[in-house]
Amino acid sequence: MALYPIKFTPIYKYRIWGGNKLKTVLNKNYTQENIGESWEISDVKGDETIVSDGSLAGKTLRDLIKDFKEDAVGAHVYKTFGEEFPLLIKFIDAKTPLSIQVHPNNEIAKQRHNSFGKNEMWYVMEAEKDAELIVGFNQKVDKEAYVKALESGEVLKILNNDTVSKGDTYYIPTGRIHAIGAGVMLAEIQQTSDITYRIYDYDRVDSSTGKTRELHTDLAVDVIDYSFDTNYKTNYAITENKTNPLVHSPYFKTNIINIKGEIKKDFSDLDSFVIYICVEGSLELIYNDKVYKVAKGETIFLPAALDDVVLKSHNADVLEVYY
């Protein structure tokens, strides 16, 4: 059975802070309220995404790797991760702010949770007026000063708030305190991990449980990176019809492409799967003379065995992700 460009059926996640933009803006198909996340490509246990169309429909991402091995993900990726997929791709809609949180690194996550760590990045797709993200500290802080601020209820005063707009990009390495603010919709690329330590949650009660959500203040203290930076945002430039680097980390590489016309892509030298995330406009991806349409808010997975594709659009912004 031959491989081809693959779409997965998203998995929708209720969140206390979720809104309805994933439905109204990105045309996601669900009926529940407060859907905060659409998991586009996932190998998280119990939340494996399923192929939605073509001859492989019904198979999970894990099934693809089992069946096709390095043809699915690339020889280096298969050698490193085996049948586990290293990335989780999401869209996130925050109607109200997320909790202040931090993620552990690979070593701590493995030791405490038998999981990968959670290095991640955000690409802002929409931001309401004055919408903010919290990323890092706004001053030099050590562990003692942080604990004091947390215990006195003043932790928000030492955190860095950035007002954001469409296209703003942030790399969030493990250990960096962060939170998505109200009115922000974004694409998130991260390691395959669902380990989050909540530090502060505005004393909110979750209507689905009638309780406040669990905090993980003790677990977080030794995970937090207390360093201070004057700028946490990723600086980048876009030249149309070129592959522009966005975030290149040891855990994933993300480029941005503004497509106006037609671009030929040759992956014969790239030993990895490739994921395209359409964050603006729409495009046609052509492989073996077959056209795959990708709308804003859709994600498509190219197995590593696929070398040559054509991207075509009047005007689209696309994130290109690989390992």
What is the C-alpha to C-alpha distance for residues 303 and 301, in angstroms, rounded to an integer?
Answer: 6
Element (H, E) at 280: strand 274-280
Handedness of CA 124, 164, 184, 47 (dihedral sign): positive
Residue 289 DSSP symbol? T
What is the C-alpha to C-alpha distance for residues 290 and 301, in angstroms, rounded to an integer?
Answer: 15
What is the C-alpha to C-alpha distance for residues 278 and 55, in angstroms, rounded to an integer?
Answer: 24
What is the C-alpha to C-alpha distance for residues 20 and 28, in angstroms, rounded to an integer?
Answer: 9
Residue 242 DSSP symbol? S
Residue reference for tokens 């939605």: 52
**Residue tagged active-site, from 15, 62, 112, 198:** 198
Question: Was 178 annotated as part of a binding site?
Answer: yes
What is the per-residue burial (b if ≥16 Cβ within 10 Å, else e) of 77-106?
Answer: bbeebebbbbbbbbbbbbbbbbbbbbbbbb
Listing DSSP states for 241-265 in one string gives: TS-EEEEE-SS-EEEEEEEEEEEEE
Residue 112 bears catalytic tag: no
Residue 233 DSSP symbol? B
Listing DSSP states for 125-185 in one string gives: EEE-TT-EEEEEESS---HHHHHHHHHTT-GGGGEEEEE--TT-EEEE-TT--EEEPTTEE
**Count of positions (residues) in the chain:** 323
Contact between residue 273 and residue 322 where contact means Cβ atoms under 8 Å apart = yes
Contact between residue 318 and residue 277 where contact means Cβ atoms under 8 Å apart = yes
Question: Was 314 annotated as part of a binding site?
Answer: no
Catalytic residues: 198
Q: Report the binding-site residues for Zn(2+).
A: 103, 120, 178
